[in-house]
């Protein structure tokens, strides 16, 4: 009788073991965890890691993964041996820029509920006596971080998972292939024979692609060799019997980290060119040859911070490998192959939270914490190509400890995707930002002349907040509000849904009513079973059985994957990504109609072409389809045309618009316009963790229309009431500044963090959005927002700030 299991987890490192433990906790049975190595020191990354848990992270999800891991590890023992040491972790600053960065990072921690304090050099030396306080300016201490015995933590989780017989662990068994039947997982082939199963969870980390490639799933990461070494015993630590007793230290100015290890000191370094290794070259024990030349500079720099290390020999040397993905985040979730799940690229630090998340995902299809940054479905095609993967993985290794500005632009590869407007934009001296591979204008330097016109209405910025910013964004914003702006929107994702089942399919996926007359535009969310917002988009009915789903450029692959996963099992619905076939311009502003009308034979008056409707237009010679909607909150249209007409269409509109004062406007203006109008941005203000009620989007839900995904959960939430609300705030101090993710305080207590922020140029206020507990969510509520450690007063206000009566949009 061939062996059959409900689930096979491949990989018994800390990620596979954590997943198994959490699945068992959720009631799963009949799980087999296979590893090619011996259990639990398998030879994977977990076996090599020094086990430091530095939880500080700009991502809320990753921060929670780490915070949860620490709680989980705290009471784990492996074969009676303690595995976790809550010694805390320090980040120290040598440079002034780093000291400021530490204040910013302290802000994330505070906003995300992670205890931390900033310390001066003497206070740091009290915690770690070997540090030279003269070498640093200060730092941050996170008391709940610590150090774990990584592979023993994995073993401890495995012991718990196996305790009631729900999970079996088997070492010395290499998986060689994954078998699909009718496109779904049915078995794995191991070096011991074939094993049938319903599902596979791949936790093979640096080897990930070897098996994923066999079922056609791209995992865009590379393994990077990375080294650390232990000194010979130090006289300063003679007789020290504790495994680790002092906080671990990150010295990011020199791309290094340290920890105490018995009588030795451990130094890890990223200060060398990345040594990229293909998953196919990893070998069985994941060790790479030690390179003295890569570690030389680390030896010198370590002694600079820890003088006791000067002249000491490094005796234990490890050059292991770990995963660097193209965007630095883990790769998790359901793949396009039914039954095939992945959980790859996860540090020991995040392994607890990752295990909880993948287990929830596999059990109920949703997760407690927003998974959009880690979702395997998030990648664009170009991000999976080997040249891109190698370049970006290497760059992420180089930048692992760098100070990254929120608007920092990648230098290479650039120019990958260009809209048909590109040459026009260049002529207008567009300052391009890369977004999902597209070159998009952030502002146009040629608009510098507008600055004089709007003098006094665009606050100056200096230093950090002025980086990757221009006052011209403000001028483009104001020109749009007062006359009209031409926005290139070529990166939009356009998905065509057609067929006899299209309407029913969309009605089941969307929270708003889709069954409306041909030519109607509907703004809607797609919800998950918990009522969380998975997609935020518009649906336009082009014909009885033909719809366009329009969504952002960045979230396109994610949204498309969600839609594909929910297709009915028959051929009644056809889904096509037509993004490259059509391009888009936004023409918005009070003069938009005056500009467009002379170019079209059709009647575009408000009666003939009302708000939230769509129709074909002949714009000069150009066949176009226009939607009367505006993310800027103005009269105007999103205009779609086959891509090859794009450049010509731009010219037509440009020539017609110039006498009316039309300005080309970039994404910087786009963002401040949408924020004035209170439009939520998916991935920032709304995500699968937030529901339409707390996000203020209940107006776009039609619970009475019949069954749709998430409806029941939403009804329950409505009955029970929400605990938090997405609120609009403004600074009451003109000095107030924020760029996103800053902590929000009510008195001394951090009650949330900033999800979106920008200056509202036409309102003359700095706008902030964030979720607040109901007690603080009423207009008039007084709060403070900390920017680089300095607090600025803010107040909750009614939203939207601009045109609440919709007179502009409906005009």
- Give contact residues for ligand FAD (rule: CB under 6 A): 10-16, 34-37, 42-46, 48-53, 150, 174-175, 203-207, 211, 226, 228, 318, 320-322, 346-349
Contact 736, 785 (CB under 8 A): yes
759 part of the active site? no
**Which residues in 126-220 belong to E strands, given as ranges?**
138-142, 146-148, 167-170, 175-181, 184-190, 193-202
Distance CA 666, CA 679 (A): 17
Residue closer to ligand FAD by CB (options 151, 588) is 151
Distance CA 724, CA 690 (A): 10
Residue 706 burial (CB count, 10 A): 12
> Catalytic residue among 22, 48, 60, 226, which?
226
Instruction: Report the length, in residues, of the chain.
Output: 811
CB 136 to ligand FAD: min, Å: 21
CB 187 to ligand FAD: min, Å: 14
> Catalytic residue among 35, 253, 301, 536, which?
536
Please tell me whether residue 621 adopts helix, strand or coil conformation. coil
CB 2 to ligand FAD: min, Å: 19
Specify the residue for token string 């080309």.
Answer: 664
CB 713 to ligand FAD: min, Å: 32
CB 24 to ligand FAD: min, Å: 17
CB 81 to ligand FAD: min, Å: 19
Cα separations in angstroms, 182 against 29, 376, 572: 25, 22, 19
Contact 528, 534 (CB under 8 A): yes
> Catalytic residue among 108, 257, 314, 645, which?
257
Residue closer to ligand FAD by CB (options 282, 489) is 282
Omega of the bond prior to 296 within 30 degrees of 0, cis?
no
Q: How many CA atoms lie within 13 A of 641 on its CB side?
A: 24
Residue closer to ligand FAD by CB (options 53, 563) is 53
CB 191 to ligand FAD: min, Å: 9
Token digits of residue 566: 């929910």
Q: What is the 3-state secondary structure (H, E, C) of 363-402?
A: HHCCCCCCCCCCEHHHCCHHHHCHHHHHHHHHHHHHCCCC
Phi, psi of 341 (to 5 degrees): -110, 155
Distance CA 567, CA 575 (A): 9
Residue closer to ligand FAD by CB (options 17, 663) is 17
Please tell me whether residue 61 adopts helix, strand or coil conformation. helix
Residue closer to ligand FAD by CB (options 148, 696) is 148
Residues 6+ apart with CB under 8 A from 123: none
Distance CA 394, CA 235 (A): 38
536 part of the active site? yes
Token digits of residue 160: 């718990």
Residue closer to ligand FAD by CB (options 286, 772) is 286
Residue closer to ligand FAD by CB (options 12, 652) is 12
CB 35 to ligand FAD: min, Å: 4
Residue 183 burial (CB count, 10 A): 11
Q: Would you tell me the crossing angle of helices 348-364 and 60-74 to the nearest 10 degrees? A: 100
Residue closer to ligand FAD by CB (options 34, 472) is 34
Residue closer to ligand FAD by CB (options 213, 453) is 213
Residues 6+ apart with CB under 8 A from 517: 541
Contact 403, 98 (CB under 8 A): yes
Q: Between vectors from CA 645 to CA 642 and to CA 650, what angle results, nearest 5°?
A: 120
The set of catalytic residues is 226, 257, 536
């Amino acid at each position: 009788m061939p062996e059959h299991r409900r689930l096979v987890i491949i990989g018994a490192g800390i990620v596979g073991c954590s997943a198994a433990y959490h699945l068992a906790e959720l009631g799963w049975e009949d799980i087999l965890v296979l590893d090619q190595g011996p259990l639990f020191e398998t030879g994977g990354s977990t076996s090599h890691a020094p086990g430091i848990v530095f939880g500080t992270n700009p991502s809320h999800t990753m921060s929670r993964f780490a915070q949860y891991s620490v709680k989980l590890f705290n009471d784990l023992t492996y074969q009676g041996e303690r595995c976790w040491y809550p010694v805390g972790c320090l980040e120290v600053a040598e440079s002034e820029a780093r000291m400021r960065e530490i204040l910013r990072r302290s802000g994330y921690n505070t906003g995300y509920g992670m205890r931390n304090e900033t310390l001066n050099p003497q206070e740091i030396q009290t915690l770690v006596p070997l540090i030279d306080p003269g070498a640093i300016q200060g730092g941050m201490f996170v008391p709940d971080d610590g150090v774990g015995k990584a592979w023993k933590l994995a073993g401890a989780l495995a012991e718990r998972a196996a305790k009631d017989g729900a999970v079996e662990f088997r070492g010395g068994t290499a998986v060689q292939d994954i078998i699909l039947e009718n496109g779904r997982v049915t078995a794995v082939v191991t070096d011991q024979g074939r094993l049938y199963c319903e599902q596979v969870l791949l936790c093979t980390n640096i080897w990930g692609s070897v098996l994923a490639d066999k079922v056609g799933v791209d995992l865009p990461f590379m393994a990077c060799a990375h080294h650390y070494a232990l000194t010979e015993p130090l006289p300063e630590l003679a007789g020290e019997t504790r495994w680790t007793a002092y906080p671990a230290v990150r010295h990011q100015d020199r791309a290094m980290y340290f920890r105490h290890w018995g009588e030795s000191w451990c130094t890890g370094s990223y200060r060398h060119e990345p040594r990229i290794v293909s998953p196919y070259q990893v070998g069985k024990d994941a060790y790479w040859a030690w390179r003295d030349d890569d570690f030389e500079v680390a030896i010198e720099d370590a002694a600079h911070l820890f003088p006791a290390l000067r002249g000491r020999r490094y005796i234990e040397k490890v050059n292991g490998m770990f995963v660097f993905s193209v965007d630095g985040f883990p790769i998790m979730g359901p793949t396009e192959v039914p039954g095939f799940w992945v959980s790859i690229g996860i540090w020991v630090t995040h392994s607890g939270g990752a295990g909880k998340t993948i287990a929830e995902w596999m059990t109920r299809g949703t997760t407690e914490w927003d998974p959009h940054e880690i979702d395997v479905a998030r990648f664009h095609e170009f991000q999976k190509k080997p040249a891109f993967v190698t370049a970006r993985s290497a760059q992420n290794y180089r930048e692992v400890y760098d100070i990254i500005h929120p608007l920092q632009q990648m230098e290479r590869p650039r120019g990958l995707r260009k809209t048909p407007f590109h040459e026009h934009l260049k002529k207008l001296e567009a300052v391009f930002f890369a977004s999902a591979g597209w070159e998009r204008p952030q502002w146009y330097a040629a608009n510098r002349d507008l600055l004089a016109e709007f003098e006094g209405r665009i606050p100056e910025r200096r230093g950090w907040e002025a980086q990757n910013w221009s006052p011209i964004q403000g001028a483009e914003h104001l020109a749009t509000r007062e006359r009209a702006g031409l926005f290139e929107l070529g990166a939009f994702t356009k998905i065509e849904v057609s067929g006899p089942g299209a309407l029913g399919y969309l009605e089941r996926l969307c929270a708003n009513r889709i069954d409306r007359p041909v030519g109607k535009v509907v703004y809607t969310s797609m919800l998950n079973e918990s009522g969380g917002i998975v997609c935020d988009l518009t649906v336009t009915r082009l014909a009885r059985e033909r719809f366009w789903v329009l969504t952002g450029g960045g979230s396109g692959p994610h949204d498309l994957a969600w839609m594909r996963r929910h297709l009915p099992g028959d051929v009644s619905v056809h889904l096509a990504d037509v993004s490259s076939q059509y391009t888009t311009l936004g023409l918005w502003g009070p003069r938009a109609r005056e500009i467009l009308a002379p170019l079209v034979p059709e009647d575009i008056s408000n009666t003939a072409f009302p708000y939230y409707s769509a129709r074909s237009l002949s714009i000069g010679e150009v066949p176009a389809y226009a939607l009367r909607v505006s993310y800027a909150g103005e009269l105007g249209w999103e205009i779609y045309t086959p891509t090859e007409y794009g450049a010509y269409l731009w010219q037509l509109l440009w020539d017609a618009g110039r006498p009316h004062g039309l300005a080309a406007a970039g994404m910087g203006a786009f963002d401040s316009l949408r924020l004035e109008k209170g439009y939520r941005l998916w991935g920032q203000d709304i995500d699968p963790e937030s529901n339409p009620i707390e996000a203020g989007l209940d107006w776009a839900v039609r619970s009475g229309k019949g069954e749709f995904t998430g409806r029941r959960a939403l009804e329950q939430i409505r009955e029970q009431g929400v605990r938090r609300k997405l609120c609009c705030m403004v600074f009451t101090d003109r000095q107030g500044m924020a760029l996103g993710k800053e902590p929000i305080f009510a008195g001394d207590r951090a009650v949330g963090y900033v999800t979106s922020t920008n200056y509202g140029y036409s309102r003359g206020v700095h706008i902030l959005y964030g979720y607040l507990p109901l007690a603080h969510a009423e207009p008039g509520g007084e709060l403070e927002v900390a920017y680089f450690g300095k607090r600025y007063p803010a107040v909750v206000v009614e939203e939207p700030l601009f045109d609440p009566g919709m007179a502009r949009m409906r005009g």
